[in-house]
Amino acid sequence: MRRDDDEPLMDRRIVITGLGVVTSMGWELDTFWDNVTNGRSGIRRIKDAFDPEVHKCQIGAEVIGFDHTPFFENKRDAKRAERFIQFSVSASKMAATHAGLDFTAGDPERAGVFLGTGIGGLKTVEKNQQAYTEGGPGRVSPFAIPMMIGNAAGGIVAMDYDITGPNFCVTSACSTGNHAIGEAWKTIFVGDADVMIAGGSEATITELAYSGFTNMRALSLRNGEPEKASRPFDQDRDGFVMGEGAGVVVLEELEHAKKRGAPILAEVVGYGTSADAFHPTAPHPEGRGASQCMERAMNRARLNPEQISYVNAHGTSTPFGDVAETIAIKNSFGDYAKSGLQVSSTKSMTGHLLGGAGGVEMAICALALRDQIIPPTINLDHPDPECDLDFVPNTARETKVDAVLTNSFGFGGTNASLILSRFDG
């Protein structure tokens, strides 16, 4: 369906009609959501990715037993796909199916794909560097480049569905998923598309990644208690836990969704971005960029802080990051931050999926609005005195949820916040 040139763009509303996730806590949506709302951790000792024995950090939120092949039209693509591509394509197809989309019935120019990744095909880099070292240039796979580049997943989804609208890859560290979804939202808002598949993926449970992040002192070393290792806002936290997988949503212009009778899960009403301009890896200690980001999202949504029911925090379980985000939330929400706002970090269960985190957490927020449930922050046994908000400790909470804000903050000081509201028709 082509847009009528007389259609007022400012009246375009964008809704979520489909969700797809691949995580250590499941990839069937109901199973995943049941695990989240019941506070079950997906973090274990690393089993399939590599032998963790020589590594200081030996735990992760690893996806075990997932079969990606049914989600690929071209079986050669399925066989050659790097792990992050497997996750991203699969989650995209799940989201499209959940939305009931039939791309053959619409205008392919009015649909697009924004799938991001923070790091991309790192395992392919490792394997081919080893092959080069051991055997020279001739040992490097001719498929190495298309396997490692970040935009490969979006290309496969577009080819499988014959989508010819906007298509690019967002790469902004841990903000990737939120940026991809936010930019897709803007694309529909300005009239360049009616339907967008958007989200992020990551597969960095690899030896190189673990070596690098461990030597940065970023990863938790609580190897003896994997399920308790990710503990955002707890005074005993010692770093984040690596996760892998993907989260993808279908965004759709409201009238387009209504005409085809699509299920509407939530409405996306705000998007804000900012930069800390402070440090390559550390957050601004006063949460300056994060505050600015949240406030821009609320301004775009035309919502006051008191109208936000729940914040899905970035909350990675790092000593400095959790404090900085707490300060930022207090700066942005004022007195309401401590008198009514509810905040939780679902990374306590999923681990940190880096570029895939925003998409998974967007799905969580949409389901929280649908079911009027706020997921918990598990392992919050001894709250850090500097993290003094209502972080919904250990048990999900059934309560009225009208609007939610979800944060993603990345290395380089890049920030992205999104706001969803309950669809009111």
Domain CATH number, residue 326: 3.40.47.10
358, 181 in Cβ contact below 8 A?
A: yes
Q: What number is the average pLDDT over the span 260-266? A: 96
Identify the weakest region by mean pLDDT among 5-19, 88-102, 296-310, 349-363: 5-19
pTM: 0.96
Using a 10 angstrom Cβ sphere, with 0-12 exposed, 13-18 middle and 19 or more buried, the burial of residue 83 is: buried
Radius of gyration of the chain (CA): 20
Task: Supply the range of the domain harboring residue 108.
Answer: 13-259
The torsion of the CA quartet 191, 196, 200, 203, rounded to 10 degrees, works out to -140
Return the bridge partners of 421, or none: 267, 403
- Taking all residues of the chain, what is their mean pLDDT, rounded to a whole number? 96
Return the bridge partners of 45, or none: 59
- Is the same domain home to 311 and 246? no
- Is the same domain home to 110 and 182? yes
> How many C-beta atoms lie closer than 10 Å to residue 4's C-beta?
8
- Is the same domain home to 91 and 230? yes
Last residue of a domain, one of 237, 259, 281: 259
382 is catalytic: no
Does residue 266 fall inside a structural domain?
no
- Is the same domain home to 352 and 280? yes
- Is the same domain home to 248 and 327? no
Hey, what are 214's tokens? 């461990």
365 is catalytic: no
Q: In this predicted structure, what is the pLDDT of residue 10?
A: 57
Does residue 342 fall inside a structural domain?
yes
- Is the same domain home to 245 and 279? no
Residue with tokens 């997932």: 66
100: left (phi over 0), alpha (psi -120 to 50) or beta: left
Q: In this predicted structure, what is the pLDDT of residue 33?
A: 98
- Is the same domain home to 91 and 219? yes
Q: What number is the average pLDDT over the span 262-273? A: 97
pLDDT over 70 for what percent of the chain?
98
Q: In this predicted structure, what is the pLDDT of residue 192?
A: 97
284 is catalytic: no
- Is the same domain home to 286 and 344? yes
Measured between alpha carbons, how far is 66 from 23 in angstroms, rounded to an integer?
9
- Is the same domain home to 209 and 356? no
pLDDT over 90 for what percent of the chain?
94
- Is the same domain home to 307 and 237? no
- Amino acid making up residue 213: F
Using alpha carbons only, give the angle 353, 355, 360 rounded to the nearest 5 degrees.
60
- Is the same domain home to 344 and 246? no
Does residue 293 fall inside a structural domain?
yes
Q: What number is the average pLDDT over the span 291-311? A: 98
Catalytic residue, chosen from 68, 256, 284, 314, is 314
116, 172 in Cβ contact below 8 A?
A: yes
Identify the weakest region by mean pLDDT among 11-15, 97-101, 193-197: 11-15
Give the number of domains in the chain: 2
Distances (CA, A) of 352 to 82, 398, 415, 418: 20, 25, 16, 18
User: 260 pLDDT band (50/70/90 cuts)?
Assistant: very high
Hey, what are 17's tokens? 């009609």
Q: In this predicted structure, what is the pLDDT of residue 106?
A: 85
Catalytic residue, chosen from 68, 179, 256, 352, is 352
Last residue of a domain, one of 201, 224, 259: 259
Hey, what are 48's tokens? 């399939």
Q: What is the pLDDT of residues 157-169, one digit of tens each?
A: 999 999 999 999 9
What sections of 39-175 are H helices per DSSP?
Answer: 75-80, 83-99, 122-135, 144-148, 152-161
Q: What is the pLDDT of residues 59-90, one digit of tens each?
A: 999 999 999 999 999 999 999 999 999 999 99
Last residue of a domain, one of 230, 259, 288: 259
Residue with tokens 């095909």: 121
Measured between alpha carbons, how far is 177 from 199 in angstroms, rounded to an integer?
5
Q: Is the pLDDT of residue 274 over 50?
A: yes
Catalytic residue, chosen from 57, 68, 98, 174, is 174
User: 105 pLDDT band (50/70/90 cuts)?
Assistant: confident
User: 423 pLDDT band (50/70/90 cuts)?
Assistant: very high
User: 424 pLDDT band (50/70/90 cuts)?
Assistant: confident
Q: What number is the average pLDDT over the span 127-148? A: 95
Question: E strand or H helix at 293, and its extent?
Answer: helix 288-301
Hey, what are 417's tokens? 């916040």
Q: What is the pLDDT of residues 205-232, one digit of tens each?
A: 999 999 999 999 999 999 999 999 999 9
The more confident residue out of 106 and 100 is 100
Does residue 264 fall inside a structural domain?
no
Does residue 281 fall inside a structural domain?
yes
- Is the same domain home to 353 and 396? yes
Using a 10 angstrom Cβ sphere, with 0-12 exposed, 13-18 middle and 19 or more buried, the burial of residue 221 is: middle
Sign of the C-alpha dihedral computed for residues 125, 131, 133 and 137 taken in this order: negative
Measured between alpha carbons, how far is 160 from 74 in angstroms, rounded to an integer?
8
Distances (CA, A) of 112 to 142, 169, 412: 28, 11, 28
